[in-house]
Structure 1
Amino acid sequence: MTEPRTGPEPSTATVSAGSTGAYGPGEWPEVPLKPEERAPVLITAGVWLVFLVLPLVSMVTGEAPLGAKVLGYAGLAAFVIVYLGHFILPWPWRSLPHWANTAAATVLLVLCVLATIPAAGLNSFNFLPFTLAIWIFPHRLKIGLPVAFGLSAAWLSAALLVDAGDSQFWLIVPTSLALVIMLALRLAMEREERSRVLSEELALSRQREQVGRDVHDVLGHSLTVITLKTELARRLVDTDPGRAQTELDEVLAIARQSLAEVRNTVGGLHVPELGAQLASVRTALDAAGITAHLPSPATAAELPGDRRELFAWCLREAVTNVIRHADAAHCTVTITADRLVVRDDGRGLPGRDPEVTGPGSAPGPTSDISPVTPGSGAGLRGMRHRVTEAGGLLSVRPAQRGGDRPGTIVEVIL
């Protein structure tokens, strides 16, 4: 009996096992064992062979003829070889499916058991649980369990038909108890494997979401600036060709920088730098004709590294929204040790309630803000996720009450 790692049922992996056959999905092993993996498998499977001491002692101390004992020793040795060999090489006939190979191994094991009966007598029943193990552990449950139950029924029927007197009870117990133990182990392994697969899928999903947010933030800002500068260059191409050429050169530089950022983001290497982001924001606002009021790069350099990164992502997205949607004349950015504020004098948030999100309510003007609605844009959702992960608060609210152009304040508080 052994406990090799099994795949989920059904598994999503089917790996070729040579030119003529394939390892089945959800079966163990799903790929051929490497030489360094064989020793641990032999140890795990072989430790259960200690239960064969009883038939071995019975053969050694019994009064069976020498020929019967020799046959019994040969049967025991062959049983061990076939049993362990099946875990190392479960597909000796690769043109056949796994279950057919296991069925052949089961027949060989039963023949080995029959060879031990003349010398070991009723103690040969100790061999039978091992025939269940090669079905329960390596196979998918929908294949292994029915076969294991069928074999158990056959062994128990044989035990009931044997005239063993008071020992008949002890012929039934080993097979029944072994079946229960192996089923418990197998189901526990299945549950553990399913949990592992779900954890890996959840981690992969989170990674994809992170990459999606990063790519959105990188491209959203860069493409906005490229669009504005291209439109400006098109207007200037007849009246001021030199200025138009300069704008197009900047568009080319931004496009190359964006390509590099996307590559780094996909590779998990991109971390925005707040000082450089402030310079990029100024360029973008100038191209959009919006007067920028920004802190100096020295202010950004004084912040801790993790806050610089978070503020850089949020600044990029907030200013991109100002350029795209606000129709503002001015944009003011304020950065302190625990706060980033982006304020514009644009048309505000028509048709939308003020928004706030975070692990707790913010003091002052943000304390009465309603929760962020599910309909928020992708950029705002990404910003909200970053701020929430950092344990901060994100609020989006009008800069002033009333008026045709109330403006908007985006505030990140840590």
Structure 2
Amino acid sequence: MRDSTAATGRARIDAPYGLGEWPTLPLRPEERFPVLSSAGVWLLFLVWPLVAMLSGGAPWEQKVLGLAGLAGFVTLYIRHFIWPWRIQRWPHWANTVLVTGLMGLCVLATIPTAGLNAFNFLPFTLAVWIFPHAIRLGVPVAVGLTLAWAVLGYSAGAASGAWWLIIPSSLALVIMVALRVSMEHEEKGRALSEELALSRQREQVGRDVHDLLGHSLTVITLKTDLARRLVDADPERAKAELEEVLGLSRQSLAEVRNTVGGLHVPELGAQLASVRTALEAAGISARLPEPDSVAELPADRRELYAWCLREAVTNVIRHADAAHCTVTLAGDRLMVADDGVGLGAWPAEDGPGAGPGTTTAGSPAAAGSPFASGGSSAGTGLRGMLRRVEEAGGRLSVTETHPGRDRPGTTLEVHL
């Protein structure tokens, strides 16, 4: 649906128009040229009736009448594309019926001087039905008009052998209908593409916000709980922890705003420093690469590693009950390993929950994969991580660090 605003300043009228249907307000000035250039080019076909009127031997009164009819027809035709809703309280089709009737009167005024060349007016009459209206209405009416003109032309031209003029009129109908169908398919394809793009944007924003808040709120919760326990024993330490919670809250709010605005890209070095703070707050011993080491990694992989690192460490803190966590970074691999309770203890709504063993996700529909799209066994975070990795052409795997032990631990790897 096109969006038009009247030059008089009237508010735009929202209505459920279908594909190809004109709005209830006139075209804006910047919209007129592309519409009128495509509609007006066909006016060249009116050269034949104009030449017939001027070169014929009819009295000048009839010629003046014919020229007036031609001018009125052109004015109605062009004006209808600019604003087909001349009477606002009437429906669209009723306005077009009125315009069609007025155009018919103009054609009648040209017949005494133009003769059978008046058949050249038919395509323009069809156009005001085929293009401004939806196909379900415009095409049947245009077919009916063509049949009516064919009967009239055969009756008028049979005696002189000129009834063959019906053929080009019928061809004009076929050409315009084919063009209209093509335009509708193109418009539907464009609408579908825009809908898919919007859906992907929403999914991306949802995934980013989840990853941001999942990590940040986990750290805030841990630090707040620590501050609550330290209020009596060590007030100064509790105050320092609360200051960090305040800083994290502000940082998280800024990140969410940037993400919603499509501006936020996580920085891997800062993410390493952030997860170190989070692991320490959870009482987990951390072995992490130095933030400066990320400069050695390919620039196009740092953002993906930053997102995956954030989500993986958040899962370690929330579910693993681990004492140690090790992060390894290389050009083609990110690994996050812990010595916690393993896959079997992860809640179904937040983690794999696949039980002991090895789980590898190479595609959303991988057999037995806890990451399978729509599956109930994979959490939102892991499904989001899987989608990011697959979009980058990589592979995500989750395995037990020490299979067979009471606390087998979990190792998450991203391979590119």
Decide: shared fold, TM above 0.5: yes
Structure 2 unmatched ranges of 5 or more = 345-352
Assess if the C-alpha contact under 8 Å between 2:107 and 2:118 holds in 1.
Answer: yes
Distance (Å, rounded) in 2 between the aligned partners of 1:309 and 1:215 = 15
SS where residue 381 of structure 2 aligns? helix
Q: Does 1:47 align with 2:47?
A: no
Shift of 1:347: 0.7
Question: Of 394, 404, 407, which aligns to 2:406?
Answer: 404
Amino acid at match of 2:40: G
- TM-score with structure 2 setting the length: 0.89
Assess if the C-alpha contact under 8 Å between 1:15 and 1:23 holds in 2.
Answer: no
- The change in CA–CA distance for 1:31 and 1:264 in structure 2 (over 3 A counts) is farther
Task: Give the % identical residues.
Answer: 67
The C-alpha deviation readout for 1:318-355, integer Å capped at 9, x for no partner, is: 00000001010100001112211100000111150633
Distance (Å, rounded) in 1 between the aligned partners of 2:13 and 2:170 = 33
The C-alpha deviation readout for 1:165-205, integer Å capped at 9, x for no partner, is: 35343232132111111110101100000000000000000
Q: Does 1:247 align with 2:241?
A: yes
Assess if the C-alpha contact under 8 Å between 2:4 and 2:23 holds in 1.
Answer: no
Amino acid at match of 2:42: W
| Structure-to-structure mapping, 1:12-23, within 5 angstroms | 22=13
Shift of 1:358: 3.7
Shift of 1:42: 2.5
- The change in CA–CA distance for 1:408 and 1:369 in structure 2 (over 3 A counts) is farther
Amino acid at match of 1:338: D
Distance (Å, rounded) in 2 between the aligned partners of 1:34 and 1:323 = 58
Assess if the C-alpha contact under 8 Å between 1:21 and 1:97 holds in 2.
Answer: no
- The change in CA–CA distance for 1:40 and 1:20 in structure 2 (over 3 A counts) is closer
Structure 1 unmatched ranges of 5 or more = 1-6, 8-12, 360-367
Q: Does 1:200 align with 2:204?
A: no
Amino acid at match of 1:75: G
Which residue does 1:338 correspond to in 2? 332
Which residue does 2:149 correspond to in 1? 155
Which residue does 1:56 correspond to in 2? 50
Which residue does 2:396 correspond to in 1? 394
Which residue does 1:365 correspond to in 2? none
SS where residue 72 of structure 2 aligns? helix
Assess if the C-alpha contact under 8 Å between 2:4 and 2:12 holds in 1.
Answer: no
Assess if the C-alpha contact under 8 Å between 1:29 and 1:138 holds in 2.
Answer: no
Question: Of 196, 214, 220, which aligns to 2:214?
Answer: 220
- The change in CA–CA distance for 1:166 and 1:20 in structure 2 (over 3 A counts) is farther
- The change in CA–CA distance for 1:281 and 1:23 in structure 2 (over 3 A counts) is closer
| Structure-to-structure mapping, 1:18-37, within 5 angstroms | 22=13, 25-26=17-18, 27-29=21-23, 32-37=26-31
Amino acid at match of 1:279: A
Aligned residues: 396
Which residue does 2:359 correspond to in 1? 355
Amino acid at match of 1:110: G
Question: Of 128, 132, 138, which aligns to 2:126?
Answer: 132
Question: Of 66, 83, 86, which aligns to 1:92?
Answer: 86
Distance (Å, rounded) in 2 between the aligned partners of 1:84 and 1:266 = 45
Distance (Å, rounded) in 1 between the aligned partners of 2:204 and 2:143 = 47
- The change in CA–CA distance for 1:370 and 1:214 in structure 2 (over 3 A counts) is closer
> Which 10-residue stretch deviates more, 275-284 or 54-63?
54-63
Distance (Å, rounded) in 1 between the aligned partners of 2:150 and 2:11 = 38
Assess if the C-alpha contact under 8 Å between 1:271 and 1:309 holds in 2.
Answer: yes
Assess if the C-alpha contact under 8 Å between 2:12 and 2:25 holds in 1.
Answer: no
Amino acid at match of 2:54: V
Shift of 1:210: 0.5
Distance (Å, rounded) in 2 between the aligned partners of 1:20 and 1:153 = 41
Assess if the C-alpha contact under 8 Å between 1:22 and 1:94 holds in 2.
Answer: no
- The change in CA–CA distance for 1:273 and 1:215 in structure 2 (over 3 A counts) is same
Assess if the C-alpha contact under 8 Å between 1:21 and 1:96 holds in 2.
Answer: no
- The change in CA–CA distance for 1:143 and 1:71 in structure 2 (over 3 A counts) is same
Shift of 1:224: 0.4
Q: Does 1:329 align with 2:331?
A: no
- The change in CA–CA distance for 1:235 and 1:20 in structure 2 (over 3 A counts) is closer
Shift of 1:376: 1.5
Amino acid at match of 2:398: V
- TM-score with structure 1 setting the length: 0.90
Which residue does 1:362 correspond to in 2? none
Distance (Å, rounded) in 2 between the aligned partners of 1:371 and 1:227 = 27
The C-alpha deviation readout for 1:54-111, integer Å capped at 9, x for no partner, is: 2122222222222111111111111111111211222233333322222221111101
Assess if the C-alpha contact under 8 Å between 2:157 and 2:163 holds in 1.
Answer: no
Distance (Å, rounded) in 1 between the aligned partners of 2:160 and 2:339 = 96
How large is the Cα RMSD of the aligned pairs?
2.3
- The change in CA–CA distance for 1:167 and 1:43 in structure 2 (over 3 A counts) is farther
Assess if the C-alpha contact under 8 Å between 2:327 and 2:335 holds in 1.
Answer: yes
- The change in CA–CA distance for 1:23 and 1:65 in structure 2 (over 3 A counts) is farther
Distance (Å, rounded) in 2 between the aligned partners of 1:281 and 1:186 = 58
> Which 10-residue stretch deviates more, 264-273 or 300-309?
300-309
Question: Of 296, 303, 310, which aligns to 1:302?
Answer: 296
- The change in CA–CA distance for 1:257 and 1:186 in structure 2 (over 3 A counts) is same
Amino acid at match of 2:251: Q
Assess if the C-alpha contact under 8 Å between 2:24 and 2:85 holds in 1.
Answer: no
SS where residue 167 of structure 1 aligns? coil
- The change in CA–CA distance for 1:277 and 1:239 in structure 2 (over 3 A counts) is same
Assess if the C-alpha contact under 8 Å between 1:21 and 1:95 holds in 2.
Answer: no
Q: Does 1:81 align with 2:78?
A: no
Assess if the C-alpha contact under 8 Å between 2:227 and 2:237 holds in 1.
Answer: yes
Q: Does 1:174 align with 2:168?
A: yes
Distance (Å, rounded) in 1 between the aligned partners of 2:369 and 2:27 = 58
Q: Does 1:385 align with 2:387?
A: yes
